[in-house]
Amino acid sequence: MYLSSSSPTGIRFLASIKQGNGLKPSARAAGVHQEVGYRWLRESYLGFRCDGKNPAEATEALGFTTSRIPAWEAAVGDTGRHHLQVDVKDEVTFWEAFDAGKDLAQSALVAGVGRSTGYRWLQVRFEQFRGQKVTLKRCQSRLRLTDHRCHALERERLARLATQRNAAAAAQHAAVLSSGRYADQVLASTVSESKQHRLERNTKYWQLMREGKSNAEACRLLGMHRRTGTVLRQANNFQIPSLKPVPEPAGRYLQSRERLQIADLLELGHSMRSVARELGRQPSTIKRELDRHRDSEGRYLPRTADHDARVQRARPKTHKLASNPRLRGLVQRKLNRCWSPDEICGWMKKTYPEDLTLRLCPETIYRALLLRDGQGIHKRYATKLRTGRRIRKTRWRNRTGQGSRIRNMTMIDQRPAEVETRLEAGHWEGDLVIGVGSVSAMVTLRERKTQYGIVVNLPYDHTAASVNAAISGAFAKLPPAMKRTLTWDQGVELASHEELTQKTGVPVYFAERSSPWQRGANENFNGLLRQYFPKGTNLAVHSTQHVANVMRELNTRPRKTMDYDTPAALFSTERKASTKIMR
């Protein structure tokens, strides 16, 4: 495929040449042959010469010199006309005859050309007039065109302009997309083979863990030491990473990839606002970045900018406990007496209210004792803490004794009494069915009177937002009379129950801890569902259609408690009855 020097690839190649890189490295980075690079350099050189620059100025502007420049210089005066193109003198003769009052056919006869050639010249002159903002009526008068032909030429011109605009928009979009791929390619090229191998090995390890393998078995299959797998699990807080691709959030500071994209998009001719829009940043952020990190020649070099920004952001500071011997001595004496950091800090604030140098935060003491890079206090004082451990243990590894983390719960004893009678439809019970590694899950809902069940697959996560969205989508298809209450256990997946109630209008009631019999209908439905989705399996592999088929099969089973009627039939009857009442 033919690539011009104005394409994104050509612009990146010429920018690399301008930055002082050689022909071979620039062509290799752009992914083109050297001869393609020479062609682009020739086009740029001839462009500089046509703009009025002398050979020395054109070479300097190009940033590249070669023995081919004399051959390029010989092509400077070439008009570029095709060898089959009609001579310029014949065109001059045609317009002299046309301006003298002859029509198109007569003028073409005088110039010795065909009528189609004369019509083409007339169309070009029409395009020039319209490009110079000459009105359509004046063009028709000056070129002696009929109404039909004038409007036909105008339609062709507008269609051509629309095609050019669409092509320009497509090129702009392609440039933006290629910029992201270019940044990823540059970043990937900096990763060593050994690091790439470790990343691939870690991905395979977590895949085996999702399949239910033990740490020892997964390490044996991958040919690595069992301790390596333990280190990987510790680094991830003993949780299997989710399969859902989570884009890195735009943090406070620009990342290396963003700086590479800024440099690339600027080379492609984008404005600061368009660059900011593509990166999801504010235009002022891009402006400050360029003002801080441009060199003396006005160039923005992304790797240099990233290095300088990291150095400027470091701001090294001496630890408070390391720089103040009196403070350190007080803390150590109280730790020897088994005081907690909170007690130490409160005592110093009360005992020395006027001395601000003896003010301390409990977290400062904890970090000095429990973090590997903590400074100021010897690690032996960590044994004086109440827990006695020398490293900080994340709260996510052991949640026992933490209590419920759901706020403003309405307990099941406050639920309306008619829910227990099962004489009224629209009262639901819900829970989660969890897959292997606690990554994938399914939301299960069961109506108490009709025993009708709903299953929504959550293949990537089961956060409060995902569960809320799944329940809201399931309830959105039901009439108001068929969604009266919802009973759930105290799982943290329903921490945003107030938002769910506000969105769906369904009040949520929570069962007591370790009391599954308070939601017996849903527990029974989960047991039936496990026949199709056994424990210890990955629920993310099941398609939406397969889950819908299983739900339909469960709802069309006859039930002994309902005189062998099916939940689907009873639910349909109740739904139709509620719709008639609403009418």
Pairing assessment for the beta strands 485-488 and 453-458 based on DSSP bridges: unpaired
Mind listing the pLDDT tens digit for each residue in 6-26? 777 777 788 778 777 788 888
Q: Quick one: the chain helix, strand, coil %, rounded to 5?
A: 60, 5, 35
105 strand-pairing partners: none
Angle subtended at Cα 222 by Cα 217 and Cα 228, rounded to the nearest 5 degrees: 80
Q: Note the pLDDT of residue 401.
A: 45
Handedness of CA 406, 412, 413, 416 (dihedral sign): positive
Residue 454 class from Cβ within 10 Å (0-12 exposed, 13-18 middle, 19+ buried)? Answer: buried
Neighbours of 559 (CB within 10 A): 13
Structure tokens at 243: 């399969």
Dist. CA 540–CA 542, nearest whole Å: 6
Asked whether residue 36 carries a pLDDT value surpassing 80, the answer given is: yes
Work out the percent of the chain whose per-residue pLDDT is above 90. 25
Question: 73 by DSSP, 3-state: which?
Answer: helix
C-alpha dist (Å) from residue 104 to 84, 88, 129, 202: 22, 18, 18, 77
Q: How many CA atoms lie less than 13 Å away from 375 in the CB half-sphere?
A: 9
Query: What is the structure's pLDDT at 483?
Result: 93
Cα–Cα distance, 158 to 81 (Å, whole number): 26
- What does the pLDDT average to over 243-258? 67
State which amino acid sits at residue 376.
Answer: G
Which pTM does this prediction carry? 0.38
The arithmetic mean of pLDDT across residues 172-184, rounded, is: 69
Grade residue 504 by pLDDT with cuts at 50, 70 and 90.
very high
Label residue 249 by pLDDT band (50, 70, 90).
Answer: very low
Q: What is the pLDDT of residue 175?
A: 67
Q: 157 or 186, which is more confident?
A: 157
Q: Is pLDDT of 277 > 80?
A: yes
pLDDT at 10: 78
More confident call, 187 vs 487 = 487
> Alpha-carbon distance 197 to 224, whole Å?
13
For 205, half-sphere exposure in the C-beta direction (CA atoms, 13 angstrom radius) is 26
Indicate left, alpha or beta for 535 from its phi (over 0: left) and psi (-120 to 50: alpha). beta
Q: Under DSSP, is residue 78 helix (H, G, I), strand (E, B) or coil?
A: coil
Q: Token pair for residue 133? A: 């903002």
Task: Determine the residue type at 313.
Answer: R
Q: How many CB atoms lie within 10 A of CB 516?
A: 13
H helical segments located in 476-519: 497-504
Torsion of CA 286, 289, 292, 296, to 10 degrees: -80
Alpha helices per DSSP H over 246-388: 256-267, 272-279, 283-293, 302-314, 320-323, 325-336, 341-351, 362-370
3-class DSSP assignment, residue 559 = strand
Q: Is 450 exposed, middle or buried (0-12, 13-18, 19+ CB in 10 A)?
A: buried
Q: Which 3 state secondary structure label does DSSP give 486?
A: strand
Which residues are paired to 453 by β-bridges? 446
**Which pLDDT band, with edges at 50, 70 and 90, does 130 fall under?**
confident
In SS3 terms, 234-265 reads as HHCCCCCCCCCCCCCCCCCCCCHHHHHHHHHH
Could you count the other beta carbons within 10 Å of the beta carbon of residue 301? 15
Look over the chain and give the mean of its residue pLDDT values, rounded to a whole number: 84
Q: What is the mean pLDDT of residues 28-39?
A: 84
**Per-residue pLDDT tens for 430-466?**
999 999 888 899 999 999 999 999 999 999 889 999 9
In angstroms, rounded to a whole number, what is the distance separating the alpha carbons of residues 128 and 145? 15
pLDDT at position 370 over 50: yes
The three-state secondary structure class of 425 is: coil
**Which residue blocks in 437-508 are alpha helix, DSSP H?**
464-475, 497-504
Nearest to 412, CA basis, from 516, 320, 259, 329: 516
Would you state the torsion angle of the CA atoms of residues 168, 171, 176, 177, taken in this order, to the nearest 10 degrees?
150
What confidence category does residue 251 fall into, taking pLDDT thresholds of 50, 70 and 90? low
pLDDT at 396: 41
CB 142 within 8 A of CB 129: yes
